[in-house]
Structure 1
């Protein structure tokens, strides 16, 4: 039986990334006085998906007339409120507009059904290279855009400076009294503390036991290393790279709309600090499959930290550039890394009390679209902890091992690109990784 909650309860958050910092902020704003966050790295962690120069804030993808649609729409509205009004996050949102496109009839149909259909009046159709070129200043988009079809909206979407927003949430939570214990060994959690069928906190690598009335597991793709998720999570990696830009180019490329081809890749304006342009190739994701010899257990995807990308990823990034900005296609890479998220079989979040551990709140399953919700997701996690999460959200985000009774690691989850199939980091054993100098 879990202890009764009060504002003086000891709340332990395992993980200081996007959802961990958001949870800490919202709990502190609600008056909880004893909130502690543990993370193996200083914040922002070099392996956190939120430690990034930019993320897309886009229109939602949802179907008509069901709870999932209602949850998706409510999430978007709450995130939008946070980005536009919350002083912790507002400075980092750039309402620059959004171009979304596809290169095959199948992907275009999917895009129109899932995204454009619900917002058709807000978008302008793009059918020619000249249409795409005209969305940005002269000389930016110069490619042939062969086979591309797309849509453009000039406002109501754009990008956010992810790292700065994450650090802002951390700083405000700390100002409000949250205790952050970071770095190894003192912040590195080695296991959860089990007692009488419940979870009573966590043990760190320095041997200290952090006892808590409630434990929130918000460790992203690394969460399965501490808890059996019964096959509900698949750590999945995406790839990004930066190329250097000149001071003059940064001025020209400022305030560009996001450009996202759901089969090819995406980019946003250059980073204002280092003057680097971030590029991502689009694909359903990489996994790092590990199987125990002689075991009947399903293989597990285990995250690895690399500030490199597979050679195949660099090829796709350069092919993407040749289609849209060939003048940049041969620039050297200044930075690259794999970025891990945690998928669920239906891409719905997993935010719930654990059915066997009444004091453990699971906050995972971002499914590649978790960061844009940093202004508000911590409020939903706090609602869950307090037992007042909206019933529709509770149903959508419940503990649901019945959805993952078989191996689903090859499921693309309706993502496109790179042959429309899941990728494996095992390919690097033959092709290698892109080496970044400096």
Structure 2
């Protein structure tokens, strides 16, 4: 473990959620020499995926939810983060437009949208996870913000508070004769790329330095010299530091071989439908004012979600039932690494046909009015899974001055405003004194199944073993 001084030289690898939040909180905690290295120029692109940025953080939007079943610590941290998201909205509203990041100067000048999250069953009854979540929220004193679609008292309360129109946006009760769902009125979504651009703006304002370049910012190795970490970049430079924090998202396992068996790079599948602006009915129906975030069949075998259309009319649907792997040679090792639309040598914009069919099933059952539009684009969202879906923030054993900050496991974005607060405590050696330091410590598992990490390259989730969907598959057939 490294003893930090406020003058210590700290290098953070990666400018996504884990990296930028850590940098921001380090600077705000008095550390004066913090530098972010990234092979993508996220400042120039504003993290916008449509501008060529590839990472889980560089997305159109992300879900903000507080339903965590029995994982009450994550539920509490998410609730704290919500307060900071509110603060960020107010700060942006009060900042002159010409001082804001470019992506926030026009269009929606708002990051966090409290549109609600409809946890929708794909069966005629609620699953065990949903019942457990409601029981925990009852104990936490926040059950009043949850509205069951089959509970008269909840429906009445939803009407009183202006949420009733989001209890059944798919009109399932009328069309299918059954609708079991819980509307969480505390939840919603954030514009992901705008949020990261804002966090980077705040970090730079606090004194964080950046090298965001495909050569000078691309880290190819991390070694040690005189018990200090040395970061090697693609331009041949060496950067000696007191502390290196590797927060490289899907590229973390290829930089830190020690995480093998603890972290694995995986991809979720995403499809978009373009809502036409000249159709006022559809444009209004899928607007954030009328459409909640929806999760369908979570923990019931479906694992599909959707978010309201964005300001440009993009309606995003994600399929998370299977998270794909992609093994390649990395310095003599076979490691799962991203295969993206822009950054990687081998490009990929398609998703497996199984994932696309799952998304199309969701649309056909719940939004039949969109079938005629078809899918407009697809992408793979690469992140890192841990053995137990909990984050990994700790010093790397046997690597003096090197820490890992990763393992978002598909639910890390909501903690962007607050994650770095807890990371700094761990980096300062206080991890054993905090609940999150204990949860996110370096660990192993003797379980025979470890969130798919035990499968390796022989497993069924390897991308090269999948039939990939083509544009012809984007259309719905009767």
TM-score under structure 2 length normalisation = 0.77
Cα distance change of structure 1 residues 183 and 98 upon mapping to structure 2, 3 Å threshold: same
- Equivalent in the alignment of 1:250: 283
- Equivalent in the alignment of 2:381: 339
The Cα shift of 1:117 comes to: 4.7
- Equivalent in the alignment of 2:113: 94
- Whether 1:270 aligns to 2:309 is yes
Once the two structures are superposed, residues 2-54 of structure 1 have per-residue CA deviations (whole angstroms, 9 ceiling, x without a partner) of 4x422222110001111111111111222322111011111127221111121
The Cα shift of 1:206 comes to: 0.3
1:161-172 → structure 2 map (5 Å cutoff): 161-172=191-202
- Whether 1:149 aligns to 2:156 is no
1:143-292 → structure 2 map (5 Å cutoff): 144=175, 148-153=179-184, 155-196=185-226, 198=227, 200-227=229-256, 228-247=258-277, 248=280, 249-254=282-287, 255=289, 256-261=291-296, 262=298, 263-272=302-311, 274-289=312-327
| Unpaired stretches in structure 2, ≥5 consecutive residues | 94-109, 341-347
Contact 1:145 1:324 in 2 (8 A): no
d(CA) in 2 for partners of 1:139 and 1:76? 25
d(CA) in 1 for partners of 2:234 and 2:320? 37
Contact 1:89 1:165 in 2 (8 A): no
Structure 2 residue corresponding to 1:77, chosen from 57, 76, 79 = 79
The Cα shift of 1:142 comes to: 4.5
- Equivalent in the alignment of 1:302: 337
- Equivalent in the alignment of 2:100: none
d(CA) in 2 for partners of 1:283 and 1:343? 14
1:391-410 → structure 2 map (5 Å cutoff): 391-401=434-444, 403=445, 408=450, 410=452
The Cα shift of 1:213 comes to: 1.0
- Equivalent in the alignment of 1:418: none
Aligned length: 411
Contact 1:137 1:252 in 2 (8 A): no
d(CA) in 1 for partners of 2:238 and 2:375? 43
Per mean C-alpha deviation after superposition, the further-off stretch among 216-225 and 187-196 is 187-196
Cα distance change of structure 1 residues 20 and 435 upon mapping to structure 2, 3 Å threshold: farther
d(CA) in 2 for partners of 1:436 and 1:88? 44
Cα distance change of structure 1 residues 264 and 217 upon mapping to structure 2, 3 Å threshold: closer
SS of aligned partner of 2:60: coil
Contact 1:116 1:123 in 2 (8 A): no
Once the two structures are superposed, residues 97-120 of structure 1 have per-residue CA deviations (whole angstroms, 9 ceiling, x without a partner) of 121022247971232224565344
TM-score under structure 1 length normalisation = 0.84
- Equivalent in the alignment of 2:463: 425
The Cα shift of 1:308 comes to: 2.5
d(CA) in 2 for partners of 1:411 and 1:100? 28
SS of aligned partner of 1:21: helix
d(CA) in 1 for partners of 2:464 and 2:446? 24
- Equivalent in the alignment of 2:130: 111
d(CA) in 2 for partners of 1:146 and 1:204? 60
d(CA) in 2 for partners of 1:387 and 1:281? 38
Cα distance change of structure 1 residues 253 and 405 upon mapping to structure 2, 3 Å threshold: closer
d(CA) in 1 for partners of 2:4 and 2:325? 39
d(CA) in 2 for partners of 1:398 and 1:139? 41
Cα distance change of structure 1 residues 354 and 138 upon mapping to structure 2, 3 Å threshold: closer
Root-mean-square deviation (CA), in Å? 3.2
Once the two structures are superposed, residues 317-348 of structure 1 have per-residue CA deviations (whole angstroms, 9 ceiling, x without a partner) of 11101111101023233332101121112211
- Equivalent in the alignment of 2:359: 317
d(CA) in 2 for partners of 1:271 and 1:192? 40
d(CA) in 1 for partners of 2:234 and 2:446? 32
